[in-house]
Amino acid sequence: MKEQQHSKKRSSKSKSNKSPKKSKLLNYKKYIGKDANHESEHIDQTNNNFDNVINPHTSEINEDPSNLEQEESLSEYNNDFLIDSNHDLQDLTENDYDPIPENDSELERPDLDLIGVPEWLKSPKIVDSNLSCSISDSRLALSEQTLLNCKKENISAFFAVQVAAFSLLKSIFISLKYSERARDICVSAPTGSGKTLAYAIPIIEKLLSRVVRRLRAIIVLPTKDLASQVKSVFDKFCRGTHLRVGLASGEVSFVKEQQTLVNSTVENSIEESSKVDILVCTPGRLINHITQTPNFYLDSLEILVMDEADRLMSQGYNDWLNILYKALSAGQNTLKRVLSGMFFLQEATCTIPPPTELSVPFRSVLFKIDIVSRGIDIENVDTVINYDVPISMNQYIHRVGRTARAGKAGSAYSLVGSHEARHFRKMQHTANHLKKLKNLKFNPEVVQEYEELYQTCLDELKELYVSKSKD
Ligand SMILES: Nc1ncnc2c1ncn2[C@@H]1O[C@H](COP(=O)(O)OP(=O)(O)OP(=O)(O)O)[C@@H](O)[C@H]1O
């Protein structure tokens, strides 16, 4: 059914009254707003980035990173496998697929124009995924403490998206210091490519020179798990500095959270009211603190990061953007302008249904409910098994993206039943990924041997899942 709708959409491309393509807006994953005179950038790293259907691959990069050293490269999903006992991938002919335009980006532009996507979002600076530079490169001019923290985390070189973001953010922060133009950045890069540090390190470097503690940076994430993960990244990279990082995600009671975030002894004063410089939060808790926590001020907020921005946009979260917008003071015009821009993205994406399926492990590897699988960074996962076929390429990417992270190798296996084979192939073909799959066949007699063990695993998993859901 989904595929039929998709075909209809494609064939009606030329009509001028077509509705916006929601999937295209899913590119805009990490969004950084900066409060000053407003300008914007969109970085896009497109090496095998299945999310990215707007832009063709190029090797252009932003600003001046072309002369940075090329030391390390990002590898992608090194091996994706399709396990299919009934079909051969080569069985399908070209006629079985929707025609795929030679240059998708050209066809998307009218859609984007129609819904009013600004020029800077439509024309990203494409970053070569081989771009890399040493942490001690003098052009980055990182503080001694950040260098030390990188070394403690075994980071010796920065990945492409990091080099690109550092260079842009640095110039933005310097401009801001001299009250010149600041900009907004929208980053789209493959899973596991290091987007968190791409914004965390510049924010820390920027705030190191602050004198008084005030809430200056907020990072919003769609789930509690992601917020904890990002908080721990900030904690590691704030080690040895005077910066304090807070978490507001519902992990502890609201009252406890309030105690960690604000000084209740200071009465209605912005001065010394905040106990943190940086706040990592979910939209729900952010709203709660804005509306219910005395001394929780946003007046000094300079930096706003929306991590997994498409999810934050597609799910309403009690109108959090609107509440945040209203909480900003009149002087924070740029942030307000950024947020109004986001309202339109929210409108355009709010009809995407949240994925709810359960992906079950085959034998021992990894299982996750899709809604939390996305963005979660689990160390050293070398294999992902799709026990069921993901409903969309987006879901497929976020599942298999739990492996082959940070330049490491990894494999993804998909178990495809005969009734799912057509949908799966079409999905892979449309994303131009079909050629990269290997078709593995297995002998049913060999599989039979494992049936009992498999059933036991499934039962255990079921028990575990039920007991976890009760907690
Ligand atoms: N420069 C680097 N060198 C080595 N490892 C790195 C570097 N940058 C990030 N990493 C590691 O790469 C992993 C993936 O990073 P991160 O979670 O930021 O990816 P991401 O792009 O946000 O992925 P997703 O889109 O799935 O959220 C993490 O374990 C992180 O510690």
Least confident of 59-68, 213-222, 313-322, 368-377: 59-68
Please report the pLDDT score of residue 59 as a whole number.
24
Q: Are strands 184-188 and 30-34 parallel, antiparallel or unpaired?
A: antiparallel
Q: Whose CA is nearest to atom 8 of ligand 1?
A: 194
Better pLDDT: 123 or 298: 298
From the CA of 155, how far away is ligand 1's center (Å)?
10
Better pLDDT: 260 or 164: 260
d(CA 222, CA 231): 13
CB of 238 within 8 A of CB of 227? no
CA dist 292 → 215, 244, 303, 316 (Å): 16, 22, 22, 20
d(CA 441, CA 87): 9
CB of 65 within 8 A of CB of 163? yes
d(CA 344, CA 369): 29
Whether 407 is covered by a domain: the verdict is yes
Q: Tell me: the pLDDT tens digits for 377-401? A: 666 777 888 777 887 887 788 788 8
- Same domain, residue pair 311 and 173: yes
Whether 298 is covered by a domain: the verdict is yes
Task: Give the total number of structural domains in the chain.
Answer: 2
Please report the pLDDT score of residue 150 as a whole number.
97
From the CA of 364, how far away is ligand 1's center (Å)?
24
Please report the pLDDT score of residue 283 as a whole number.
92
Please give the number of the atom of ligand 1 that sits closest to the Cα of 189.
21
Please report the pLDDT score of residue 64 as a whole number.
26
CB of 300 within 8 A of CB of 263? no
Mean of pLDDT values over 436-442: 79
Please count the other Cβ atoms lying within 10 Å of the Cβ belonging to residue 341: 20
User: Best substitution site from 137, 233, 373, 377 to test ligand 1's pocket, by max atoms within 8 Å of Cβ?
Assistant: 377
Cβ of 401 closer than 6 Å to ligand 1, yes or no, is: yes
Picking from 340, 369, 398, the residue at the C-terminal end of a domain is: 369
d(CA 60, CA 415): 38
Mean of pLDDT values over 421-444: 82
Note the ipTM here: 0.97
Long-range CB contacts for residues 447-450, cutoff 8 Å, separation at least 24: none
CATH of residue 270's domain is: 3.40.50.300
Mean of pLDDT values over 112-125: 68
From the CA of 40, how far away is ligand 1's center (Å)?
24
Whether 150 is covered by a domain: the verdict is yes
Mean of pLDDT values over 102-109: 44
Cβ of 311 closer than 6 Å to ligand 1, yes or no, is: no
Q: Tell me: the pLDDT tens digits for 268-284? A: 555 678 999 999 999 99
CB of 82 within 8 A of CB of 414? yes
Q: Tell me: the pLDDT tens digits for 346-375? A: 443 332 232 323 233 322 334 434 444 556
β-bridge partners, 28: none
Q: Whose CA is nearest to atom 16 of ligand 1?
A: 194
- Same domain, residue pair 313 and 408: no
- Same domain, residue pair 275 and 410: no
Whether 104 is covered by a domain: the verdict is no
Could you tell me which of 409, 411, 439 has the C-alpha nearest to residue 424?
439
Picking from 341, 369, 397, the residue at the C-terminal end of a domain is: 369
- Same domain, residue pair 283 and 157: yes
- Same domain, residue pair 248 and 395: no
198: which residues sit within 8 A by CB, 6+ positions away? 30, 159, 161, 162, 164, 165, 166, 187, 189
Residue 269, judged by CB atoms within 10 A of its CB (0-12, 13-18, 19+), counts as: exposed
Does residue 8 surpass a pLDDT of 70?
no
Q: What are the tokens at 296?
A: 């929780």
Residue 8, judged by CB atoms within 10 A of its CB (0-12, 13-18, 19+), counts as: exposed
CA dist 245 → 166, 239, 261, 279 (Å): 20, 10, 9, 6
From the CA of 89, how far away is ligand 1's center (Å)?
33
Does residue 186 surpass a pLDDT of 70?
yes
Please report the pLDDT score of residue 344 as a whole number.
45
Mean of pLDDT values over 452-468: 80
Q: In the predicted model, what is the mean pLDDT of the chain?
A: 68
Does residue 6 surpass a pLDDT of 60?
no
Q: Which helix (H) or strand (E) holds 32?
A: strand 30-34
User: Best substitution site from 155, 230, 234 to test ligand 1's pocket, by max atoms within 8 Å of Cβ?
Assistant: 155
Whether 4 is covered by a domain: the verdict is no
- Same domain, residue pair 132 and 226: yes
- Quick one: pLDDT band at residue 264, thresholds 50, 70, 90? confident
CA 452 to the chain's CA centroid: 39
């709203």: which residue's tokens? 287
> Domain range spanning residue 440?
383-468
Q: Whose CA is nearest to atom 11 of ligand 1?
A: 406
- Quick one: pLDDT band at residue 266, thresholds 50, 70, 90? low
Please report the pLDDT score of residue 218 as a whole number.
94
- Quick one: pLDDT band at residue 24, thresholds 50, 70, 90? very low
Cβ of 166 closer than 6 Å to ligand 1, yes or no, is: no
- Same domain, residue pair 131 and 264: yes
Please give the number of the atom of ligand 1 that sits closest to the Cα of 135.
1
Better pLDDT: 57 or 175: 175
d(CA 134, CA 415): 40
- Same domain, residue pair 262 and 406: no
Q: Using CA of residue 49, residue 206, residue 244, residue 302, what is the dihedral sign?
A: negative
Please report the pLDDT score of residue 312 as a whole number.
81
From the CA of 196, how far away is ligand 1's center (Å)?
6
Does residue 430 surpass a pLDDT of 80?
yes
- Same domain, residue pair 129 and 169: yes
Least confident of 132-136, 189-193, 464-468: 464-468
Does residue 97 surpass a pLDDT of 70?
no
Q: Tell me: the pLDDT tens digits for 206-257? A: 899 888 899 999 999 999 999 999 999 999 999 999 999 999 999 999 999 9
Give, as one character, the DSSP assignment of residue 299: T
From the CA of 173, how far away is ligand 1's center (Å)?
23
- Same domain, residue pair 197 and 150: yes
Cut 0.90: pTM above it = no
- Same domain, residue pair 322 and 197: yes
Whether 446 is covered by a domain: the verdict is yes
- Same domain, residue pair 208 and 314: yes
Is 197 in a helix, a strand, or coil?
helix
Cβ of 198 closer than 6 Å to ligand 1, yes or no, is: no
d(CA 281, CA 250): 9
Whether 435 is covered by a domain: the verdict is yes
CB of 307 within 8 A of CB of 230? yes
Whether 8 is covered by a domain: the verdict is no
CA 437 to the chain's CA centroid: 24
Least confident of 92-106, 283-297, 318-332, 398-412: 92-106
Least confident of 4-13, 310-319, 444-453: 4-13
Q: Which helix (H) or strand (E) holds 395?
A: helix 393-400
Q: Whose CA is nearest to atom 14 of ligand 1?
A: 192
Q: What are the tokens at 181?
A: 């133009």
